[in-house]
Amino acid sequence: MSDLRETVRDRYAAAARSVGPEAAAVDWDSDAPCCSPADGCGVKYYDAEERGQLPEEAVLASLGCGNPTLVADLHEGETVLDLGSGGGIDVLLSAKRVGPTGTAYGLDMTDEMLELARANAAKAGATNVEFLKGYIEDVPLPDGSVDVIISNCVINLSTDKPAVIAEMHRVLRPGGRLSISDVVAADELSPAERAERGSYVGCIAGALSFDEYRSQLELVGFVDISIEPTHVEVNQMYGAIVRARKV
């Protein structure tokens, strides 16, 4: 599993380098991330007005399968955590919504993405953001310190999803909520059938099914769970919005 994590890290480091200040061309293969910056497929989930308020590099580095900030219903003064924050697009958008009395954290394991995100925050003049290095399976924040958790097509990449879900529950305050974009598989698909449809680092093979996602959220105590498909990624696998609340 550690080899798989390093493969994911390498691919997303390459993605960061492809849009950074010294951008390098990358020959994306079949194990590319969910989408490559060259494809611009993550950008389509953000409207032109909000894209125009951000540094170009933050927009180009968007590799997700949705726009969690669109449905997160963020409020002034809240603390938001983005798991797998990449180039920082969702952190910067969240920072605008929670305002100067709120805080937006981004967590990423990839040095190149963290460097890019911090540069993007400086360009945007965002003073209420902080980018943390670490793993989504072991979040470097105290218990009950976050109001909202967002994530954009990252949880499917974890090799220990029960640990990620337990960590989300731990760091949320009572009443805190999730608003996550992720890839989710039809319940009838076996893990082998998911792997036939795409690679792990391509956000396909590692996806949970709808029932698996719901069961794991329920297991740690989340309530008001909804998993709503928004579009088809590949046959019987969907981009979806996952919502839940901590009691």
pLDDT digits (tens, 9 = 90+) for 129-162: 999 999 999 999 999 999 999 999 999 999 999 9
pLDDT digits (tens, 9 = 90+) for 189-246: 999 999 999 988 888 999 999 999 999 999 999 999 999 999 999 999 999 999 999 9
pTM assigned to the model = 0.92
Find tokens 């082998």 and name the residue: 192
Identity (one letter) of the amino acid at 21?
P
pLDDT digits (tens, 9 = 90+) for 174-202: 999 999 999 999 999 999 999 999 988 88
Our count of domains for the chain comes to 1
pLDDT at position 38: 53
Q: What is the pLDDT averaged over residues 29-38?
A: 54
Tokens of residue 227, six digits: 């998993």
Give me the domain span that covers residue 24.
2-246
Residue 191 sits in a domain whose CATH number is 3.40.50.150
Q: What is the pLDDT averaged over residues 70-91?
A: 96
| Pairwise CA distance, residues 183 & 65, whole Å | 7
